[in-house]
Chains A and B, each alone.
Chain A
């Protein structure tokens, strides 16, 4: 259904995404993980033709055979309204604060589906029920700020579902929420994807969230997909040194951990775009770096010169 190849995004300062390749079948759930600044949001936006003005996007994104890179804005907009939807990290910014929740959800239904106001509000209430909001009919009359963070995120998901999308892209949908609310939202996304045979791309720096929801996982670093595979396999036996560092740095609950021992870390920070090394993006931070890593870009999956030897 979705086929991405050679997708690159260039800014003045450098390449923020270098030839990304991904495929996604109907109903499949893909996770995209990596530290902040690794290009996750940019990848998500580029799939929708929504990359920032300053970005130069090249390569190919095919959705059901239709090429989206360079497609006219009108075609992209109708696709975004109906077949592809997106949910962002901060629910408040996605919801117009001056409009009641019911009207917010009813609007795309009236626009794209031609429903009457009453029918659209009925459908909106059904959607709010589907995303697990109690008292859906009463909620229609509430304003976004009258709800908790978790409830607002449910509303943005209901809004995204309004036109039965085939693909939902969720960028850090639970990062602003507390653990238990986050767990409910993640379970909701997984169940909706199963129930509606809707493909899902979950973007998150939280590997626990990814593990909970997705079948396949792509690890992004410095604009490169450095490793991808079935989520369980990548998490249980990571092969790329960056993935290994990411997984080791995650605090795990263990009664036997000696708390006087430091936690494993990845040294340093993600470099700014202009300072990324031309070869392997991870060189400079990699604990098992080889002499040619800095200048020669590794290929394959995982994309690492160690793997080739």
Chain B
């Protein structure tokens, strides 16, 4: 098993409103357990504020759960050495979250490889290969992010994420900001990488139709909990939980 999330919790304290009262607390994630096999795509769907991004940050090790654990390849993600951390990479809704506007895209795609034993030539070749895989030209390496369209920028962010050959890609709303026609292009790219590289994915979206078009399994989140989970075909054919049914009505 590639990823195992074991009963994780995460709460955020808000600023104190009264001097003598405890500050209000938001229970963003309240006891989630999930597993993901190699090469599998797990879709997470839920409304805004349901805790999807908080869960993603804990899987990436950006934040520690208050309770529970995240295991990657059988290792506790909280104590993972840096090299093993490269096994999981992330793409965001806004590609600028991972691209530096002042750096050429060749630099941005090769950057995750800087701490490896690869030589400059090897890193350059890898970046060129990854850009080609996402449908861009290696000749684009010298160009800057603002010279590309939104969809192309998201492809570049994906090229960067797959540069170190990760086993797991965490994608948080990767197509939410894109036009319908470009959305389908990026979803096809992700499916293609899943097939050709065996890349497993935690694919997060608020849009059930988008999640269902790509995921093998779906977990439905509400108020920091998983309310329903199962194979995509089953969830789509016969949603059981009222909240899943409500998502269908909105889709």
Contact = CB atoms under 8 A, between A and B. Distances in A.
Interface of A: 35-36, 149, 177-183, 205-208, 245-246, 249-257, 259-260, 262-266, 269-270
Contacts of A269: 149, 151-152, 182
B14 interface: no
Given A205-B180, A246-B180, A263 B236 contact: no
Given A262-B191, A269-B151, A251 B184 contact: yes
Interface string B36-77: 000000000001100000000000000000000000000000
Chain A interface mostly: loop
16 contacts: A35-B179, A35-B181, A35-B182, A178-B47, A179-B206, A179-B247, A180-B250, A205-B179, A246-B181, A251-B210, A254-B212, A257-B213, A259-B214, A259-B216, A263-B184, A265-B188
A275 B207 CA distance: 33
B183 A255 contact: no
Given A35-B181, A249-B181, A263-B213, A255 B208 contact: no
Contacts of B184: 249-251, 263-265
B232 A254 contact: no
Given A206-B180, A253-B236, A255-B236, A263 B216 contact: no
Nearest to B236: A255
A179 B183 contact: no
Nearest to A248: B184
A259 B182 CA distance: 18
Nearest to B210: A251
B233 A255 contact: yes
A265 B175 CA distance: 14
A36 B207 CA distance: 20
How big is the B interface, by class? 35 or more
A-B interface, 4 closest residue pairs, ranked by CB to CB distance from nearest: A178-B48, A255-B237, A251-B213, A263-B184
A180 B246 contact: yes
A259 B213 contact: yes
Contacts of B183: 249, 251
Contacts of A181: 47-48
A250 B210 CA distance: 9
Contacts of A180: 47, 246-247, 250
B196 to A, nearest CB: 12
A87 B47 CA distance: 24
Interface in B142-182: 149-152, 179-182
Nearest to A262: B188
Interface string B191-222: 11001000000000011111011111000000
A253 B188 contact: no
A242 to B, nearest CB: 9
A177 B195 CA distance: 32
Interface in B231-251: 232-233, 236-237, 246-248, 250-251
Contacts of A254: 212, 236
B32 interface: no
A264 to B, nearest CB: 7
A124 to B, nearest CB: 27
Contacts of A250: 180, 184, 209
Contacts of B151: 269
A264 B180 CA distance: 11
Contacts of B206: 178-179
A253 B248 contact: yes
Contacts of B233: 255-256
A293 to B, nearest CB: 19
Contacts of B33: none
Contacts of B250: 179-180, 182-183
Contacts of B208: 253
Contacts of A249: 180-181, 183-184
Contacts of A206: 180
B136 interface: no
B104 interface: no
Contacts of B182: 35, 269
Most buried by A among B181, B195, B233: B181
Contacts of A270: 149
A260 B47 CA distance: 27
A208 B47 CA distance: 17
A69 to B, nearest CB: 29
Nearest to B206: A178
